[in-house]
Amino acid sequence: MHKHNNNLFKIIELLNDNRYHDGTSIGSTLDITRAGVWKSIQKIQKYGINIKSVKGKGYLLEAPLILLDYCKIKSSLKEKNIKLDIIEKIDSTNNYFKKDAIRSNGKVGVCISEMQTEGKGRMSRKWYSPFGKNIYLSILYSFQKDISELSGLSLIISLGVCRSIESLCQLNNKLSIKWPNDIVFEQQKIAGILIEIQAESNGFCNAIIGIGINVNMDEAHNKQISQKWTSLQKLTGQYYDRNFLCSGVINHTIEYLDRFMQFGLDNFIGEWVNKDYLFGKQIKVISGGNRISGVGSGINNSGHLILKMPEGTTTTLSSGDTTIVK
Ligand code: BTN
Which ligand 1 atom lies nearest to the CA of residue 135? 9
**Segment of 129-133, 198-202, 215-219, 285-289 carrying the highest mean pLDDT:** 129-133
Whether this prediction's pTM lies above 0.85 is answered by yes
**Ligand 1 centroid distance, CA of 137 (Å):** 8
Cβ(194) to ligand 1 under 6 A? yes
* Separation between Cα atoms, residue 83 and residue 203, nearest integer Å: 22
Cα–Cα distance measured from residue 227 to residue 40, given in angstroms and rounded to the nearest whole number: 34
Does residue 104 carry a pLDDT above 60?
no
Cα separation of 68 and 87, whole Å? 9
Asked whether 210 lines ligand 1 (CB < 6 A), one says yes
Whether residue 138 has its Cβ less than 6 Å from ligand 1: yes
CA dihedral 67, 236, 50, 10 (to 10 degrees): -20
Distance 21 CA to ligand 1 centre (A): 37
* Greater model confidence, 201 or 132: 132
Q: Is the Cβ atom of 98 under 6 angstroms away from ligand 1?
A: no
Output Rg (C-alpha) for the chain, integer angstroms.
Answer: 21
Residue owning the nearest CA to atom 2 of ligand 1: 192
Mean pLDDT over 5-30 rounds to 91
Ligand 1 in reach of 122 Cβ (< 6 A): yes
**What does the pLDDT read at residue 103?**
59
Q: What are the tens digits of pLDDT across the range 182-227?
A: 999 999 999 999 999 988 777 778 899 999 999 999 888 888 888 8
- The pick from 162, 211, 321 for probing ligand 1's pocket by mutation, whose C-beta has the most ligand atoms within 8 angstroms, reads 211
- What's residue 316's pLDDT? 95
Digit-coded pLDDT (tens) for 32-61 = 999 999 999 999 999 999 999 999 999 999
**Distance of CA 38 from the midpoint of ligand 1 (Å):** 33
Q: From the CA of 262, how far away is ligand 1's center (Å)?
A: 26
Q: Is the CB of 116 under 6 A from ligand 1?
A: yes
Instruction: Give the confidence band of 25 by pLDDT, cuts at 50, 70, 90.
Output: very high
First to last CA, the chain: 49
Within 10 Å of residue 10's Cβ, how many Cβ atoms? Answer: 18
CA angle (88, 239, 71) in 5-degree steps: 45
Tell me the CA–centroid distance for residue 253 and ligand 1, in Å.
Answer: 15
